[in-house]
Amino acid sequence: MIRPSLSAFFALLFSSSIAWACDPAQTEKLDIDYIETSPDITLRRMVVQNSNPKGTVLFLHGFPETLCVWKDISLALADDYEVHAFDWPGYGLSSRPPVDKFSYAPNEYARVLHDYIEKANIDESKLTIYATDIGALPALLLALEKPDIAKKIIVGDFAPFDRPQYMYESLQNLKSEPSAGKTRAYMNQTRAEILENAYRRGLPEEAQFDLSPDVKEDMSRGWDHGGLTSADAFYYYYSNFTRDENYFEANTDKLTTPVKVIWGEKDIYIKKEMGIELAEKIKAQLRLLPNVGHYPHLQSPNQTIEELRDSFR
């Protein structure tokens, strides 16, 4: 599906299909709707309104997440900030354009991010972008091209450089064929296990946590919405990943947007050494979170809220 027709789009928007999770009826401040950012891309988005905000926060999710992972944090920030989040193409209820029209590469996601900020009329001078996992490299790639895209960017738990030795085995396997295709097939076969355990894997028993039922349901229903699965989108992202990592590393000296690096010290997917190297290379402040894994915003949301408030001080 490239995008719904106008009538189909509004039928979708107001049907019960979006009422099951991240329900905007839970609060008058939270709206979930759709925004067309290009002829091929329609994004499901969440906006927490504020009539007199101190600034704007834009959350960018990772794999296998959807915008719903940001709901509770967004509501916690609602008294002071306007908050945005959207599903990346290939995730949640956003578009799944065919790969001959959209490559799902990090640099394509950077274009989607730029188009969203523009279409949503976000004031870049008062914007903090908080990006994790697959969302982080696109944010930094965009910052290379548009240094004023945000007041500050907070990134973490991703692979900015081509360092397979710092990556989980399945992620290493996605970086080249034939292992990439086999990994893609395996991930689609083990969807239920990924959705249940991806965020807990590698954590000691005392650090284990669970997701709320609505977040689980949203990720599950969004996995294969539109015929292309989130694992497929992840695979296509990785098929161009090394190229975009190398471009970023070759141009880090051009990065002038203020960046902070936050990393879960116990991240088994992308080891902390990746975050340490990134912070050193771009001369950014680094915060390692003890006993936290790959998903700090899920495991320790209060720390995420604290970091965001600090970014506006």
**Chain segment 102-113, per-residue pLDDT in tens:** 999 999 999 999
Strands 82-86 and 41-48, bridge-based pairing: antiparallel
- DSSP character at residue 293: -
Q: What is the pLDDT of residue 9?
A: 41
- Whose structure tokens read 């905000």? 53
Return the pLDDT at 29. Answer: 79
Q: 252-306, pLDDT tens digit by residue?
A: 999 999 999 999 999 999 999 999 999 999 999 999 999 999 999 999 999 999 9
Mind spelling out the 3-state secondary structure of 12-65? HHHCHHHCCCCCHHHCCCEEEEEEEEECCEEEEEEEECCCCCCCEEEEECCCCC
Q: What average pLDDT does the segment 9-35 reach? A: 57
Kindly report the average pLDDT of the chain as a whole number. Answer: 92
Can you point out the beta strands (E) in the chain? Answer: 30-38, 41-48, 56-60, 82-86, 127-132, 152-156, 259-264, 285-289
Cβ(123)–Cβ(117) under 8 Å?
A: no
pTM: 0.92
* Strand 56-60, strand 127-132: pairing: parallel
Burial of 292 (0-12, 13-18, 19+ CB in 10 A): buried
Per-residue confidence (pLDDT) for residue 23, from 0 to 100: 57
Share of the chain above pLDDT 90, in %: 88
Task: Check residue 1 and give its pLDDT.
Answer: 33
Query: What beta strand segments (E) does 225-303 contain?
Result: 259-264, 285-289
> What mean pLDDT do residues 27-36 have?
87
Asked whether the predicted pLDDT for residue 181 surpasses 70, the reply is: yes
* Nearest of 178, 191, 183, 197 to residue 229 by alpha carbon: 191
Cα–Cα distance, 189 to 191 (Å, whole number) = 6
Q: Which two tokens stand for residue 55?
A: 């600034």
Instruction: Report which of residues 6 and 138 the model is more confident about.
Output: 138
Domain 6-311, CATH number (from 3.30.70.270, 3.90.1150.10, 3.40.50.1820, 2.60.40.60):
3.40.50.1820
- Paired residues of 5 in beta bridges: none
Ranking 213-217, 224-228, 308-312 by mean pLDDT, the lowest is 224-228
4 cis-preceded (ω within 30 degrees of 0): no
pLDDT of residue 18: 40
